[in-house]
Structure 1
Amino acid sequence: MSQPFSPQQQQLGRLPDNRNRVQVASFEQYLEAQRAVDYLSDHKFPVERTAIVGEGLKIVEQVTGRLDWNRALTLGMSQGAVTGVFIGLIFGFLGFGGRNFLALLLDGLLLGVIIGAVWSLLAYALSGGRRDFTSVGGMRADHYNVLVDPEVAEQARELLAQMR
């Protein structure tokens, strides 16, 4: 019988063995599987005895645009600005240097823009043109199965049959 996460498994990041669990539903989208488990939870089902398992995993990388010197500069400056403002906020809230809040925020912004620009242009130059594009990536599954322990499988099926 599969056990829910023990404290040791949670600490070590290990997942329980799902080989003995029973499939009670399958969905094309993760959000649908999540909605099913939420429905079970809302109806007092012991969801700690449940797993959502994606099958047919794929790594998908969507190319979002061409990367050139101007784009590298723009991306570096914008990322640096966000980081700089964040650091300026932290220093401002902590009252570093006896300076006023706005001055620390602006200093952080300026320093972040400069460092972000230099860092981004350096990284682009060192890439040697091997990756002249930007992209976003992630993992997707063909479908998502909701698995439960065998002892509660019938209860889960009955509840999910009532879900709209």
Structure 2
Amino acid sequence: MTTPSNGSAGRLVPNTAEMDYRILKTVASYEQAQELVDRLSDGGFPVEKSRIVGTGLRSVEQITGRMTTGRAAGRGALGGLWFGLMIGLLFLILAPASGLMMILLALGFGAVWGAVFGALGHAATRGRRDFSSIQVMEAESYDVLVEATHITLAAQVADGQPMPEDTEGTR
């Protein structure tokens, strides 16, 4: 598949399986693509006839810190607290007589078991991954695609022209 280099409206896009889509515009960021589709929507264009496609994808992993068994246990305990709170509230709803003590017990058990499982999970890696990170997918550029039958109308609306009256019923 070739990566488009500019945003000339109407260019054929390879490998679009279901429908014939054309590139309305190629932009550098997702926010710009989102802004273009929003402009189409504000202009009355039937945006369900469009797509945003990222090209030149790459995986970026931002390292957020060092991971130790203690830190893994702490994160597990926090997750366990949330789970314990959910279980405690469920018991409170189903058995109101259990009272606040059931919530506190569920919080305690959730934190302990979360810490145990967090520490065991980290220890199981045997030091092969002693860091935490956040992984995201990024694209070099984003194509705003529109069904071929609507490309001319989309280009007009994107340029700020109003929707023609006779197309209002085609949405």
TM-score when normalising by structure 1: 0.80
Q: Which residue of 2 aligns with 1:37?
A: 37
**Counterpart amino acid of 2:153?**
Q
**Counterpart amino acid of 2:20?**
N
Q: Which residue of 2 aligns with 1:98?
A: 97
Residues 1:17 and 2:17 aligned together: yes
Identity over the aligned pairs, expressed in percent?
A: 37
- Give, in whole Å, the separation in 1 of the partners of 2:95 and 2:25: 56
Structure 1 residue 74: deviation in Å? 1.3
Contact 2:43 2:160 in 1 (8 A): no
- Give, in whole Å, the separation in 1 of the partners of 2:103 and 2:140: 46
The 5 A counterparts of 1:125-164 are: 125-162=123-160
**Counterpart amino acid of 2:34?**
Q
Bigger shift: residues 38-47 or 108-117: 38-47
Alpha-carbon spacing, 1:132–1:20, altered in 2? closer, same or farther (3 Å): same
Between Structure 1 and Structure 2, the one with more helix by share is 1
Task: Select which of 119, 122, 125 maps to 2:120.
Answer: 122
Contact 2:91 2:98 in 1 (8 A): no
Alpha-carbon spacing, 1:33–1:90, altered in 2? closer, same or farther (3 Å): farther
TM-score when normalising by structure 2: 0.77
Q: Which residue of 1 aligns with 2:108?
A: 110
Q: How many residues align?
A: 146
- Give, in whole Å, the separation in 2 of the partners of 1:91 and 1:44: 50
- Give, in whole Å, the separation in 1 of the partners of 2:82 and 2:156: 49
Alpha-carbon spacing, 1:120–1:19, altered in 2? closer, same or farther (3 Å): same
Structure 1 residue 154: deviation in Å? 1.4
Segments ≥4 residues shifted beyond 3 Å: none
**Counterpart amino acid of 1:113?**
A
- Give, in whole Å, the separation in 2 of the partners of 1:18 and 1:143: 22
The 5 A counterparts of 1:64-79 are: 64-79=64-79
Structure 1 residue 97: deviation in Å? 6.9
